[in-house]
Amino acid sequence: MIDLSILSQAYFSREHVARHQLDSYNHFLINNLQKVVDEQRVIETDIESRGKGNEPVSVELGDLKILKPLVREADGSQSELYPGEARLRNITYAAPIQLGLTLVQGGVRHEPVIATIGQLPIMVGSVACNLYGMTDEERTTHGEDPLDPGGYFIVNGTERVLMTLEDLASNKIMTEYTERYSERIYVAKVFSQFRGYRALVVVERNRKNLLEVTFPSVAGHLRFVDMMRALGMTSDADVVRAVSTDEEILTFMMQNLEESECETVECGVMYVGKKLAPNQTRDYQRKRAEFVLDNYLLPHLNYLMPRIVNEEDEECMKIVHSVRLAKAHFLGRMAEACFDLVLDRRRIDDKDHYANKRLKLAGDLMEDLFRISLNRLTRDIKYQLERASMRHRDLSIATAVRADVLTERLLHPLATGNWVGGRTGVSQLLDRVDHMSVLSHLRRVISPLSRSQPHFEARDLHPTQWGRICPSETPEGPNCGLVKNFAQMVEISKGVHSDDEVVRMLYGMGVERIGVEI
Amino acid sequence: MPSPKRIGKIEFGLLSPKEIRQMSVRKIIWADTYDDDGFPYPQGLMDLHLGVIDPGLRCKTCSQKSGECPGHFGHIELAKPVIHVGYTRLIRKLLRVTCRECGRLLLSDEEIEKIIGPEEEMGTDSVSEKDVKKERICPHCGEQQLKINFEKPTTFAEITTDDRGKKVENKLTPADIRARLEKIPDDDLQKLGIVGEVARPEWTIMTVLPVPPVTMRPSIILENGQRSEDDLTHKLVDIIRINQRFKENQDAGAPQLIIEDLWELLQYHVTTYIDNEVAGCPPARHRSGRPLKTLSQRLKGKDGRFRGSLSGKRVNFSSRTVISPNPNLSVNEVGIPQKIANEMTIPVQVTTFNIEELRRIVRVGPERPDLKSPCGANYVIRPDKRRIRLVKGTGTEDGNLDFVADQIEVGWIVERHLRDGDIVLFNRQPSLHRMSIMAHWVRLMDGKTFRLNPAVCPPYNADFDGDEMNLHIPQTEEARVEAAMLAAVQENILSPRFGGPIIGGIHDHISGIFLLTHRLRWFTKEETIDLLKNNHVDRLGEPGKVENGIPYWSNKQIFSKILPDDLNMVFRASSCINCDECKRVNCERDAYVQIIDGELISGVIDKKAVGAFDGAILHRIIRQYQYTRAAQFIDDMTRLSIRGIMHDGFTFAIDDEDLSKSDYGQIKEVLHRAAQDVERRIQIFEDGQLEPMPGRTPEETLEMQIMQVLGKARDNTGEIAGRHLGLSNSAVVMAVSGARGSMLNLTQMAGCVGQQAVRGERIMRGYEDRTLPHFKKDDRGAMAHGFVMNSYKSGLDPTEFFFHAIGGREGLVDTAVRTSQSGYLQRRMINALQDLKVAYDMTVRTTGGRIIQFEYGEDSTDPMKSSFGEPVDVEGIVSNILKEEI
């Protein structure tokens, strides 16, 4: 018999207690921070159209760099900041964020300026932390407990932990029954997520075997077949093939096709447009419908979408059309799932199955926060530049960037726990009652379900939590089963970064293309 | 104090503009509150006629000081009438059922008669909105009616059809509506359930707004000296500002559009002033973004005036601390720490009889030095109601104790400290039944916790894991008498829920008395005295036997010492297993209890005899000798049982769960056979041979069978374990005597934990077609669905442990969810039943005199005075006389 306690001990070492917090935050620092900046890429201004004889002005965002935590004294001197000092002096353990900004004025590109755009709170023990890579002795000399697991932030001297949030997996087709007017309705749902935007798309079968689609920004239900038309599927055969070639489903599809009122793409788009903006001009309706289809329907398929849709550009429109077709095929899959459920070939999905859960760790939360904060900063920069232009001053990046805007936006949620998106209790004061409570707090998982409702099934210990969530540790009382803790040997996997690799691998495994080139 | 007055009648109605002006002491026209010197503006919102809140000023209406002046209403003359949001539904109804031209009810007299009966015998029925058809023609003047649209919160509109057949909404201003409501005659209102004299419908449209007194919206002064106004004042400022602007615009002849806008704005402000949470209306906010707390918000909800300040308020003369047990106290006593006793006082009238004693008390002063010394006092009250605080002299400053003590005369009141023998009310929340508040007698004690006899834990549902309890001191003679006569612990031994005792022995009391009285044991004189040393026993009586010249007393003789002398009863103890034929006195479990003339002849005393919720002996003593003797018996019994359990000692350890090797073999065998049985049944099912039970699918039938087989297997292991573990085992003693736990707990510890279930079913959820990856897919076997074969002693293997955690989680969730639900249920029930009473004609009635039950409980039986629900305990009376079992 092998002594497994060695393995167990390895998992319970100082390095491992807050490993998930540190890994996630490091990933955010190294990869996602730059990714968020790249999403923004350019700040366009309206200076051109504002005054007379003005040239277009924009700012390009370049490389982002996080320094080590610093403290700036009242006399202006700066020195390295260690967590112990931050705790004692009630200051924030944060490092300056430096971003390369290039001002483009008319056709002229100015020299890139490196500006400090704000302070990023640094997780104790992460790669940006001053304690990173230190030996126990060095830690001790800097006033740090060598056994402290790290994995938390220090904001105004208080230690704040970001709770791991448990959520239903996005971009996954889930089936369920709902009851409406004492009738059973078969539903296929998808939480489609793309760059922090989350949209619920529903395909359901009503009692007349008709499929209906619901998605944000459109009130009420839309006919499935007409939606497919709007997305570019003209022939009935294509629509049916996108769903299934199964005999029984075919009969269902026939009923749906009969109810359809559209034959062409144009007609489909107008059908959506009429629902969206009744009593408006046809042109406006068409534009609005296309905009909504591209932005609010299944946004997770938008990863190939060009940033700016230029209707003149043929190459660009080709991509847009292929993305729309992809959406049609995805709707087809949802319809099939829905029919499978009707025909008892598929069971409803177990929402409490841990395969259907995704965890939002510190890094993901910081990414959400940073995205919104950076957005605010760019708006502020734009406003500052436009104001400077109005007053006929020389435009300068250094004066347009107000670092406090970003810092304030980053610190406030962390200090209060009121995260972007209105979620509360995301950051909590680290429980230092004893060492064990610290360990437990760093490994806590919170479910977003309301604690005032029973939610019996969600509170149950699910067998798929084996090895992931501790079966014993959960509070008694209203939060029972909703607040969980990681199991000792939990390993948290990350999503794959490169889409291409996955695509290549899938094709290598014999996956066939669905006809369109995406 | 003004003498109480009898209320002649209460009239509910609306305030008419006339009444508002009449009760107003000042017309308010300025939105400003204070001038630069911090003095209220005349005719401003803080006008001195409206009452005073600042000390030093006098009210200009009643010339009283702040704190004495109750405040007076003012009024604002509104530029145009506005709708009172609270009455929009009434207004809508009235507009729809009355004629837009003549204001009469849209029904002919015949129709009215059909609905509410003839005029002579008109009852409480009234015409409702549904009785009037929409858009009909007025039967009185022949006017075509129009559809009235109501849009929340306060917009009314008439729908007309224009020449092209298109529907047009025609907005009704509050003034239009008021004009229409004015036209409704009082007689027609009567038919709608409205008394016109006190509540004219046009008064729901306000032309004058009452301004509440400043005492109801005091401003507070912040640390930095700045004034911060109340939310209501803020809102009133808004109203006055807009009103002023409205007036100016009106006088200047502003265009209709602007007038309409201002009117709407005024309406908005008045609406939010009354209710800031109306649907379809953005709440008015403070500068900080916090929604204002206006009139309706003051009254509504848990912390509102009704639930927060009137039916639930904070009280003086109360204290709260942690509780801890003390079995040496009597059940009707409570131990109180000195610190609390020194703070809490009882007012004592000085009379010629007690003046010397009270002088001594006053001389002790506000701090009594130790528990033994006589109590002190904190205040004395002179006949002119002036309070004098007693101050003890220190080294530098003189006290007033001796001075005050000499001053005291008959007619003064001394607020003396709590002392031994005072009566207090003791309470633990949640107060779910009346036994949650009981009166106890005070015993001062060391320490900082309240001490109580563990026997009174069941009615309070208290334990000592950090529970806190509250204590209240009745302040009047009447209150003390009431507490002693009605609320005292002994008066509440019987529960009004089922008529049995709710106070009695728990846990160790029962184990102890069981061990002491089980079978026949003999004790020497020393042992006997030791056992009875905490009881008041004067005489041991004749020894039961004398051996070698040494006298011995039997255990049953010892117990009999605490029984009343002429008690007769026969019953079966908790340990009775209901044999087909009772062996009576020869019962090998000693479960046949026979008490004749106060002597325990045979049988063991356990939960059935003295336990809380059962307590047969206790019950009989209450019926035969009243409550005081019963309390005495509980005290004696608990003390004796504690001595009894200490005499033998009582422990439980891990090796108490050990079984013999052959037992383990048998358990293994039983479980193995059960597993095979399950396999066999699964095989039958899979072959399609399973005969489904009526109304169930084969799957359900199989599940039930498996549950049954495994349940039986667990019970069998329990039996094997039980055979091995006798009364020498503490857990068995506890289970058999009913003190704590059951044989099932023991089975799980020593035999087999058994099937884990979620909502009554085996564990089914998990991965695809299996619970855990440790099992094969589609395995229906026992182990794969949560059967725990091991015992707690032998230890669970990992999958078993996990299944056990699943089963355990369900219990945790259940308790958490249930407590909140039952709390709400209780609240609703109390609200529904609180004012019911039994009237002199023996019917149960509401305060309004409506009959709920013709006879209380349909049999007029007070459950507390019944014997477990039966009005007369015939069996008990007969058996008491015949001295044998019936």
Pairing of strands B851-853, A108-109: unpaired
**Would you say B374 and B417 are in contact if contact means Cβ atoms under 8 Å apart?**
no
Average pLDDT value for chain A: 85
Q: Which residues pair with B579 in a beta bridge?
A: none
Would you call A21 helix, strand, or coil by DSSP? helix
pTM, rounded to two decimals: 0.78
Count of CB atoms situated within 10 Å of the CB of B586? 9
**Residue B85 phi/psi, 5° resolution?**
-60, -30
Q: Judge: A474–B812 Cβ closer than 8 Å, yes or no.
A: yes
Smallest CA–CA distance, residue A4 to chain B, in Å, is 14
Domains of chain A, CATH where assigned? 12-162+361-442 (3.90.1100.10), 174-356 (3.90.1110.10), 449-487 (no CATH)
Q: What is the pLDDT of residues B335-383, one digit of tens each?
A: 999 999 999 999 999 999 999 899 888 888 888 888 888 888 999 999 9
CA distance A487 to A471: 8
Higher pLDDT, A106 or B299: B299
With CB atoms and an 8 Å threshold, state whether A463 touches B805: no
Question: What is the reported pLDDT for B29?
Answer: 87
**Bigger pLDDT: B126 or B425?**
B425
Which pLDDT value is given to residue A518? 46
Nearest CA in chain A to B817: A454
How many C-beta atoms lie closer than 10 Å to residue A211's C-beta?
Answer: 28
Question: Residue A96: which of A74, A122, A75, A73 has the closest Cα?
Answer: A122
Nearest to B802 among A352, A460, A471 (CB): A471
**Cβ neighbours of A351 in B, within 8 Å:** none
Section B100-110 average pLDDT: 81
To the nearest whole angstrom, how far is the Cα of A452 from the nearest Cα of chain B?
9
**In chain B, pLDDT over 90 holds for what percent of residues?**
29
Distance, in angstroms, between B117 CA and closest chain A CA? 39
Task: Tell me if B810 and A460 make a contact (CB, 8 A cut-off).
Answer: yes
Q: Do A463 and B767 touch (CB under 8 A)?
A: yes
pLDDT at residue B284 greater than cutoff 90:
no
Report the alpha-carbon angle B270-B271-B274, nearest 5: 85
pLDDT of residue B439: 95
Tell me whether A349 touches chain B (CB under 8 Å): no
pLDDT at B448: 94
Give A443 to chain B, closest Cα distance, Å: 19
SS3 A357: strand
Nearest Cβ partner for B767 among A459, A464, A477? A464
**Partner B, chain A 95-154, Cβ-Cβ below 8 Å:** none
A454 close to B (CB below 8 A): yes
pLDDT in tens, A107-123: 788 888 898 889 999 99
Mean pLDDT throughout B274-286?
A: 83
Question: Looking at beta carbons, which residues of chain A come within 8 Å of B765?
Answer: 350, 352, 460, 462-463
Round to whole Å and give the CA distance between A238 and A324. 14
Cross-chain Cβ contact B771/A456 below 8 Å = no
Query: Mean pLDDT in chain B?
Result: 87
- For residues B191, B194, B196, B199, the Cα torsion angle rounded to the nearest 10 degrees is -170
Hey, of B761, B813, B821, which one would you mutate to test binding to chain A, going by the most A CBs within 10 A of its CB?
B813
Question: Given CB atoms, is A472 within the 8 Å cutoff of chain B?
Answer: yes
B317-335 pLDDT per residue, tens: 999 999 999 988 999 999 9
Residue B370: which of B423, B446, B424 has the closest Cα?
Answer: B446
Flag whether residue B34 sits within 8 Å of chain A, measured between CB atoms. Answer: no
Band (B435; pLDDT cuts 50, 70, 90): very high
pLDDT at residue A76, as a whole number = 85
Contacts of A467 in chain B (CB under 8 A): none
CA-nearest of B783, B805, B803, B798 to B674 is B783
Rounded CA separation B560/B581 (Å): 28
Encoded tokens for B469 = 């309890």
State the pLDDT confidence band at B461, using cuts at 50, 70 and 90: very high
Assigned token pair, A319: 């991509």
Predicted confidence (pLDDT) at residue A311 exceeds the cutoff of 80 = no
Q: Binding site annotation covers B465?
A: yes
Cα–Cα distance measured from residue A326 to residue A517, given in angstroms and rounded to the nearest whole number: 9
Is B141 annotated as a binding-site member? yes
Query: Radius of gyration over alpha carbons of chain B, in Å?
Result: 39
Percent of chain B with pLDDT over 70: 98
For each of the domains in chain B, give its residue range(s) and CATH number, in order of start: 84-205 (no CATH), 318-492 (2.40.40.20), 508-648 (1.10.274.100), 654-813 (1.10.132.30)
Q: Which of A268-277, B388-397, B773-782 has the highest mean pLDDT?
A: B773-782
| Shortest CA distance from B803: residue in chain A | A463
* Alpha carbon of A380: minimum distance to chain B alpha carbons (Å): 23
Chain B contact set for A469 (CB, 8 A): none
Q: Which residue of B has its CA nearest to A469?
A: B802
Q: Between the ranges A141-150, B113-122, B858-867, where is the mean pLDDT highest? A: A141-150
Q: Which residues of B touch A471 (CB under 8 A)?
A: 801-802, 805-806, 809
At B583 the pLDDT is 80
Is pLDDT above 80 for B869? Answer: no
Query: Is the distance from CB of B148 to CB of B156 less than 8 angstroms?
Result: yes
Higher model confidence: residue A388 or residue B453? B453
Note whether B816 and A477 are within 8 A (CB). Answer: yes
**Interchain proximity B813–A456, CB inside 8 Å:** yes
CA distance A465 to chain B (A): 9
pLDDT given for residue A53 in this prediction: 62
Ordered DSSP codes for A234-263: -SHHHHHHHH---HHHHHHHHHHHHH----
The DSSP string of A139-154 is HHHTT--TT-----EE
| Minimal-distance CA residue of chain A relative to B813 | A480
C-alpha pair distances (Å), A23 with each of A20, A29, A127, A150, A493: 5, 10, 9, 12, 10
DSSP output for A386-422: HHHHHTTPPP-HHHH--HHHHHHHHHHHHHH---TTS
Q: Cα dist. A172→A192, A298, B461, B515 in Å?
A: 8, 11, 50, 65
Quick: pLDDT tens for B260-274.
888 988 999 999 999
Q: What is the pairing mode between strands B437-445 and B333-337? A: parallel
Span A402-415, average pLDDT: 88
Q: Is the model's pLDDT at A210 over the cut of 90? A: no
Give residue A96's pLDDT band: very low, low, confident or very high (50, 70, 90): very high
